[in-house]
Structure 1
Amino acid sequence: MFSGSIPALVTPFRNGDFAEADFRDFVEWQIAEGSAALVPCGTTGEAATMTFAEHFEVVRVCADQARGRVPVIAGAGSNDTRVAIGNVKAAKAAGADAVLMVPPYYNRPSQEGIFRHFEAVQAECELPIILYNVPGRTVTDIQPATMARIVKAFPGKFAGVKDATGSLGRVTEQRSGCGADFAQLSGNDETALAFNAMGGVGCISVSANVAPRLCADFQAAWAAGDTAKALELHDRLYPLHIAMFTDASPGPVKYAVAKLRPGFPGELRLPMTPASEASRAAVDAAMAHAGI
């Protein structure tokens, strides 16, 4: 259910408000270009700036537009366990097929606290849960032993992980601890090739917002065993992967999408700001390199 190229969708805003029509068009394009699933309201979607009502309206619109053609994985994490439980219930009501959940951030719970958090959430969640381990943002790291403990304690509840630790060795450790059926998805585009080589099955991607067909083809080539084609596409996409983080995300990716799709609003919500001149130049060069 969870593999291949999965964009962490940007959220379009117009005059500060969610731009539903633009988002519907964007979702439709992503599906047509071969994206395997969709993640609304993740980090790239500026979920941290949304109210509860906005957040799950974006999820609802995404699910409504997808109409079951690809899975919708709703961002639903919180550093408050009670809020996280409310989020997973709202995601189901909005039509999501699964939820993506970071461990509690800012609070800095212990490994025991992380386990107890997910224990409480899964008890109230009727959807598959994909863990999202991104210590660079959360300052909380789900250690491999804790991840294995979570997955083994609640069979069938935790479907996989978006691993943005940057530690490729974790793929092997997590496969050993969580089992071969536990879907490991890279959270870093630039290491997605190596991540797959270690046992990953896809990527929750920023670059797929801009180059969905190329990212989908890259993942399909690897899955088919065409490593030469996968490497060729990786090399073509690599400058774009790097350019997406030449300024605070999602500034660069929103600039790129607006450039690629005329009329798409590149507006961001504070505290996020537009990409710098140097970042825009890097994005322009990377898009030219990728041929998009």
Structure 2
Amino acid sequence: MLRGSFVALVTPFIDGELDLRTLRHLVEWQIREGTDGLVPCGTTGETPALSEREWRLVIETVIDQAAGRVPVIANTGTNSTAVSIERTRIARELGATAAMIVTPYYNRPQQDGILRHVVAIADAVDLPLVLYNVPGRTGVNLLPDTVVRLLDLATVIGVKESSGSLDQASELVLALEGRAAVLSGDDSLTLPIITVGGAGVVSVLANIVPAATRDLVHAALAGDLARARRLQHELFPLVRALFLETNPVPVKAAAELLGLCRSEVRLPLAPMSSTNRQRLSQALAGCPHTAARLAAATEVQ
């Protein structure tokens, strides 16, 4: 069963090309900081802007650098069932722990279409699957009843729930009855979702504060709600700042301000506005988990 803090990894670029050297450093830093698992090539990883070759290189690099020390859940889902099957097959060959399957975007399939899509992938490739529900990005909402139906037809071990609804997350936890993990896909809802029975988070925030994100999740899972609430309150203003603009623009800007990687994103995403970058910098300076690193990085610059 999936449990803990999983990071939705950014994909670093340098002058328009993959920065695999920095990606390896980020993987190593995440493991050293105690992150429980790595999720490359998701929304935060700018997958729609990657070529097939680049997608494979990122997955291959993360798996190689992790070297079995933590699970790697490779995002292989697309809005094409055939392409998703092929990517899942590649992820399995490369040694991924599981594949993350986003609900098909733009097509806006019915619930039965989503079910058939996932079953086709599961039938074609022997690899555990994590479903990814993010209706704000895809235009379709994966309903709890559909997930329950899928548990009898496919090897589903978890759901990244990014509907933004605590009601839906609660309904999902109740419907699954412990048969698969429910992971928050919204950093602001990580603590509430764990308190209603969730098993952790696939986090954007963890790209810049992996240890604090892990501590929050582990405290909540252990029932230490006082500590979890304190961490939630310390991190919440930063979480808000990380979504001032479309993800992953702000988190990459934060990573640059902290000296982790460049803020470079690919079109059609644009760099963060100077006004919002200043607001983000203020949030980093005001957060006890990033203030010292920000000051040190600013001195170097």
- Structure 1 position 54 matched with structure 2 position 51: no
Give the distance between the partners of 1:178 and 1:125, measured in 2 at CA.
23
Hey, what does 2:37 align to over in structure 1?
37
Contact 2:173–2:198 (Cα < 8 Å) also in 1: no
Contact 1:246–1:252 (Cα < 8 Å) also in 2: yes
Give the distance between the partners of 2:206 and 2:153, measured in 1 at CA.
34
The residue type paired with residue 34 of structure 2 is G
SS at match of 1:131: strand
Give the distance between the partners of 1:46 and 1:204, measured in 2 at CA.
15
The residue type paired with residue 25 of structure 1 is H
1:143-192: CA deviation from partner (whole Å, max 9, x where unpaired) = 111111111233xx000100000111223322232221310000000011
Hey, what does 2:266 align to over in structure 1?
269
Give the distance between the partners of 2:4 and 2:272, measured in 1 at CA.
28
Give the distance between the partners of 2:228 and 2:176, measured in 1 at CA.
27
Hey, what does 2:146 align to over in structure 1?
146
Give the distance between the partners of 1:223 and 1:143, measured in 2 at CA.
25
Deviation at 1:281, TM superposition (A): 1.9
The residue type paired with residue 245 of structure 2 is D
Deviation at 1:276, TM superposition (A): 1.1
Contact 1:59–1:95 (Cα < 8 Å) also in 2: no
Deviation at 1:91, TM superposition (A): 1.0
After superposition, residues 82-231 of structure 1 pair within 5 angstroms as 82-154=82-154, 157-231=155-229
Hey, what does 2:279 align to over in structure 1?
282
Hey, what does 1:11 align to over in structure 2?
11
SS at match of 1:153: coil
Q: TM-score normalized by structure 2?
A: 0.93
- Structure 1 position 64 matched with structure 2 position 64: yes
Contact 1:2–1:37 (Cα < 8 Å) also in 2: no
Bigger mean CA offset, 274-283 vs 196-205: 274-283
Hey, what does 2:298 align to over in structure 1?
none
Give the distance between the partners of 2:108 and 2:221, measured in 1 at CA.
37
Give the distance between the partners of 2:165 and 2:265, measured in 1 at CA.
30
User: Which runs of no fewer than 5 residues in structure 1 stay unpaired?
Assistant: none
Runs of 4+ with >3 A deviation: none
Contact 1:132–1:163 (Cα < 8 Å) also in 2: yes
Bigger mean CA offset, 193-202 vs 282-291: 282-291
Contact 1:57–1:94 (Cα < 8 Å) also in 2: no
Give the distance between the partners of 1:242 and 1:5, measured in 2 at CA.
19
Q: How many residues align?
A: 289
Identity of counterpart residues, as a percentage? 43
SS at match of 1:252: helix
Give the distance between the partners of 1:25 and 1:140, measured in 2 at CA.
35
Deviation at 1:36, TM superposition (A): 0.4
Hey, what does 1:235 align to over in structure 2?
233
The residue type paired with residue 18 of structure 2 is F
Give the distance between the partners of 2:280 and 2:3, measured in 1 at CA.
27
1:227-275: CA deviation from partner (whole Å, max 9, x where unpaired) = 000000000000111111101211110011111125x222111111111
What is the RMSD computed on CA atoms of the aligned residues?
1.1
Hey, what does 1:250 align to over in structure 2?
248
Q: TM-score normalized by structure 1?
A: 0.96
Give the distance between the partners of 2:109 and 2:38, measured in 1 at CA.
29
1:22-47: CA deviation from partner (whole Å, max 9, x where unpaired) = 00001100111111000110000111
Deviation at 1:61, TM superposition (A): 0.4
Deviation at 1:94, TM superposition (A): 2.1
The residue type paired with residue 266 of structure 1 is S
